[in-house]
Amino acid sequence: MEELLAWYGRVARDLPWRRTRDPYAILVSEVMLQQTQVARVIERYEAWLVRWPTADALAAATLAEVLTEWVGLGYNRRAKALWEAARIVSESGWPDDLTRLPGVGPYTAAAVGSFAFGRDALAVDTNARRVYSRWGFTPPTGSAALNQAVMELGATVCQAHVARCDACPIDDCASRGMAVVRAPRTPRVRFEDTDRFARGRVLAALAGREPWPDSLSAERRARAIDALVADGLVIREGAHTRLA
């Protein structure tokens, strides 16, 4: 893997979460990056850490404050899980088994363990899984440097839709020059027509970040509110609704 690590040393993007080993800051980045593009996350991540620089600071916030700050990142249950995890860490410290924290699955636990605590843990996100599949093997364990390098390779070179084998530092890849590249899928339903879009607009309005979405039908707004209540993000109080 020496050639991969040397390549990473030359081309690695300067991302703010790569400049720290603070487990809280790394957890924030990992949660924000779930299903959200890096370019969208950078500014929000930095603003978040200015407002809540520690797990203790986040734990002291209200859920409504956290949800309001999260508006625009999508998948708002992530914000609630991050807040709940911060409250556990603030009260009891970091558990040895990081999957005990809300919203932390095997990948996030491996990433935080590797990048913050220096554990030998293979962090396999979507990019890494694709790279290992094309290589034809998966290392039994991984250092922080290896994990970062593989993720970088998958994000910038060994991509799902464009496999740039000519720019890859791995000469003995089993799929070199033969990677099956998938055509981008055409969404069958516009995002604006999905329940997730409606939930996002309703929550943003309740947070005071957007006007009330009158363009949505009453049925869609009601369904969105029901879902937000079920997720514990919104509370009904008689005829009124507010952030939890």
Q: Is the pLDDT of residue 162 over 90?
A: no
| Gyration radius from the chain CA atoms | 20
Task: Give the pLDDT score at 62.
Answer: 97
Q: Shortest CA distance to 233 belongs to which of 65, 70, 82, 76?
A: 76
- Tell whether 137 and 220 lie within a shared domain: no
pLDDT tens digits for 223-242?
A: 999 999 999 999 999 889 99
Task: Give the pLDDT score at 51.
Answer: 98
CA distance 227 to 234: 9
- Tell whether 218 and 160 lie within a shared domain: no
* CATH code, 79: 1.10.340.30
CA distance 200 to 193: 12
pLDDT tens digits for 114-123?
A: 999 999 999 9
Query: Which residues, 6 or more positions from 51, have their beta carbon under 8 angstroms from its beta carbon?
Result: 57, 69
12 part of a folded domain: yes
35 part of a folded domain: yes
177 part of a folded domain: no
- Tell whether 95 and 195 lie within a shared domain: no
Task: Provide the whole-model pTM.
Answer: 0.91
- Tell whether 156 and 201 lie within a shared domain: no
Residues acting as catalytic residues: 30
Please name the residue that has the structure tokens 């034809």: 136
